[in-house]
Amino acid sequence: MSKAELISWEPATGAELWRGRHGDVDDIVDRARRAWPAWAAQPLANRMELVRRFANEVRKESENLATLIARETGKPLWEARTEVESVVNKVEISIRAYAERTSQRRLDNALQGTAALRHKPHGVMAVLGPYNFPAHLPNGHIVPALIAGNAIVFKPSEKTPATAELLVRCFHQAGIPAPVVQLLIGGPDEGRALVSHDGIDGVLFTGSAHTGIAINRTLAARPDKIVALEMGGNNPLVVWDTPLIADAAALIVQSAFTSAGQRCTAARRLIVRDTMAEPIIAEVKRLADRIIYGAPFDDPAPFMGPVIDNLAADSLTESFLYLLSHGGRVIKHLIRPNEELPFLSPAIIDVTDVAERPDIELFGPLLQIVRVSDFDEAIAEANNTRFGLSASLVGGSPADYNRFWANVRAGVINWNRPTNGASSSAPFGGVGLSGNHRPSAYYAADYCAYPVASNEMEQPRAMIGVGLRAE
């Protein structure tokens, strides 16, 4: 593989943050394969103790890690700190999940022996992480996989290698052998080589649908490899009858603009009853106008930072202009105060009259509004997507929510809560282009080990009672 350098840039300043050499895929995978048997042979209690030590190492490094995340992603420091808390909390959640989802079971029968259910690790797992939560989301794969007894090759986004380097250092400082958790620095070429490598037993991916589909296509003829894909969404938020306009607007703004809209669960489409549209839209705009967007360490603290880089900012600007030129009506303009940096204001556009609305994940602070006249139309519009990650209903009655829950296709369905901010104590995943039915978070244990069913007796005992000639 190429030994060129990879450079990470701070989105908020454009300054160089980190640089390092591209890794050698063959060498890293080979080291992981040699290290895996000894790691898998350790008692489960030992592996659990080591990941608990990892949590303590992250606690020690918490402010350094939060500062690094904020600098490398551009997210506000307060949000980076919540990400570090999620990294720590993931350990105990994963230990509980392993015990519940992949525990050992035995059923004794005096004549038939013992029926046993146990689980084995897959081997060497490739973890491909995203840039929006560069510590928390890959950690959500790594910790359950380590508990189960797998070795890890972690390839972070090429946009956030510095955060990944510090995260991996915490694993090593905790006493987990360096070959068991390895960092692969690189870009798309290294990612493709890792996914297709014969020494990899599974791929755990969080990122865009485009990349996830490419991974799925690469491994289509390899059913022996476990593949867990957590991709994005074109997520709907439906607002129905409610007198609480200000509360509804706050939920909409949280859903659409937290993390500068760079969450896979962010609300992309606000579907609103036409009789409520004017007061709801006015209140959402009023609140969005007050949003402070700025650099991670600004005072007062911003609600959101920049998007990840200038390429992302350019793409979102082009998408906004496309919607505008095809019948969209601007509620709040997308403003880019400095063409040299990827800061974008929250933007809102009414696309009700856009004949063919693109079914894509616009990964940024751009909210599209669709007005509907009845609840069936709202549900149909919510399902008017190939994705199916998250959806929320704000307002409505319990009966409305029951209909919404029963008919909307998504893996996360909320009522009077934002579309984002899913709990790590529940499964997390979607349908359609949002995932391949292997939810992460609490259910990550399911794809980190495979079940082995056994029938066992201490002594052989058998006879054939039919179909034999007499002696």
Can you tell me which residue has the tokens 């599209």?
368
Q: How far apart are CA 439 and CA 295, in angstroms?
A: 33
**430: nearest Cα among 218, 221, 206:** 206
* CA distances, 4 to each of 26, 103, 165, 185, 237 (Å): 16, 45, 17, 10, 44
Q: How far apart are CA 34 and CA 13, in angstroms?
A: 42
Residues 6+ apart with CB under 8 A from 57: 170, 171, 173, 174
- The kind and range of the H/E element at 119 are strand 113-121
Write out the two tokens for 22: 């591209």
Which are the catalytic amino acids? 230, 264
Coil, helix or strand at residue 136: helix
Name the residue type at position 273.
Answer: R
Q: How far apart are CA 134 and CA 72, in angstroms?
A: 9
DSSP bridge pairs for 154: 127, 183
Tallying the residues shown for the chain, one arrives at: 471
Backbone angles phi, psi at 441, to 5 degrees: 60, -120
Q: Are 21 and 187 in contact (CB under 8 A)?
A: no
Q: How far apart are CA 15 and CA 35, in angstroms?
A: 38
**146: nearest Cα among 28, 36, 34, 25:** 36
Q: How far apart are CA 169 and CA 178, in angstroms?
A: 9
Characterize the bridge pairing of strands 267-273 and 235-239: parallel
**389: nearest Cα among 323, 436, 353:** 436
Q: How far apart are CA 421 and CA 254, in angstroms?
A: 10
Cis omega (within 30 of 0) on the bond before 300? yes
Q: How far is CA 87 from the centre of its chain?
A: 13
Q: How far is CA 30 from the centre of its chain?
A: 28
